[in-house]
Structure 1
């Protein structure tokens, strides 16, 4: 059998398997892979993220999450500055280089606000809570599981949209057809314009029993331009 024919044969078997899965079944399988003991819902823990940019200096972020206590803390080190956001239930604290007495100039320079703190909490909770976060209220999953080729590999794909108050972007999530591991995702603000970004995932870091992607590499959809890579560590 020629290589091309073999690839088509294997692809046809994968298509058959994909057609037997509903979107809910696929989501269940990928959550079982990444969070087999259902630990995310009551997650208590910390992790570090190193962000390497294409056109900026490296940023180190230390994140603490305690969902039962409604606690979130983010400490960022970049360009000889260290700032921290802390949200605890209904309270918000911000510090810069160890002091809470921050000038208006520095608040603007580093974008230090409680609104920014809440944005970071949502951002890290969403990205590091995937695919479990796809069970959240306001999330709409297209019932059709698509088999598609993305960046040279065959994937099972879910299309996800959200209630307007949750999010306006269109998201696609790509899962390995054999293990159901989440290996890529992308979003569009306006899909007809091919805007937005895609993110390629590689490696795994197990934190509190949850298999989280070790490395995320970010690119623009429109031209594949590289934006940066974030690396997860315990």
Structure 2
């Protein structure tokens, strides 16, 4: 009798979890993921420093110090690789660039090292987006697919959220993979043309807690088409 009761309880628990997963909408899954990563809603007022080491094949590591102050609309990144150090500061609509500690940069040096305010804003958007996930998926112009799917990736089953963007924001199609029990974000993937299997996937491992936000400590990048390894970003303390 006890054995039958235990089996019945396990069946009900499993069935209930399955139904809950199937009934989750895209927005509901996103809210659960945000609750896991940013339970106190700190991202909206984020003001902190990220130390990131980028490791890529056949290159020396690139060491970056990134400062983000969202309320002040301030962004700063200092990146060093080999004997070159670049600094970009974006504060609202202004941009300041430094190369090897000097802001008085010749046109030749700027062109040779691709130093410009367009690149400064690219870095701002890049780091703010990736380290602000999944919270950044609530930004205007982000279109969340209402249907949540299940997919096995690298041997593990995930709840998957499909995201597209308004034309003014972006043209890529993104997929975000969440642990079905904790709703932690563990993988994301993007395609420019899904029919060609182009784009990349990113594996997220370990966590670093910055301003009470759980961020991926390691982000390893691979090509979708052949699993070719691109590099790893490592978030320090």
Q: Under TM normalisation by the shorter chain, which class is it? A: over 0.9
Counterpart pick for 1:27 among 7, 26, 30? 30
Distance in 1 separating the partners of 2:105 and 2:175: 40
Looking at structure 1, the residues matched to 62 and 111 of structure 2 have their Cα atoms a distance apart, in angstroms, of 18
| 2-structure distance, mates of 1:121, 1:44 | 14
For 1:12 and 1:103, locate their aligned partners in 2 and report how far apart those are by CA, in whole Å.
67
Q: How many residues align?
A: 226
RMSD: 1.6
Q: 1:61 Cα shift? A: 0.8
Which of 103, 124, 135 is the equivalent residue of 1:132?
135
Distance 1:46 1:152 in 2: 34
> Match of 1:69?
72
- Please state if 1:227 is matched with 2:236: no
Partners of 1:106 and 1:14 in 2: CA distance: 59
After TM superposition, the score normalised by the length of structure 2 is 0.92
Q: Which residue of 1 aligns with 2:21?
A: 18
1:214 pairs with 2:209: no
Q: Do the aligned residues in 2 keep the contact of 1:14 with 1:177 (CA within 8 Å)?
A: no
Task: Give unmatched runs, 5+ long, in structure 2.
Answer: 1-10
TM-score (norm 1): 0.93
Rounded Cα–Cα distance in structure 1 between residues aligned with 2:67 and 2:154: 33
* Structure 1 unaligned residues grouped into runs of 5+: 1-8
In the alignment, which residue of structure 2 is the partner of 1:148? 151
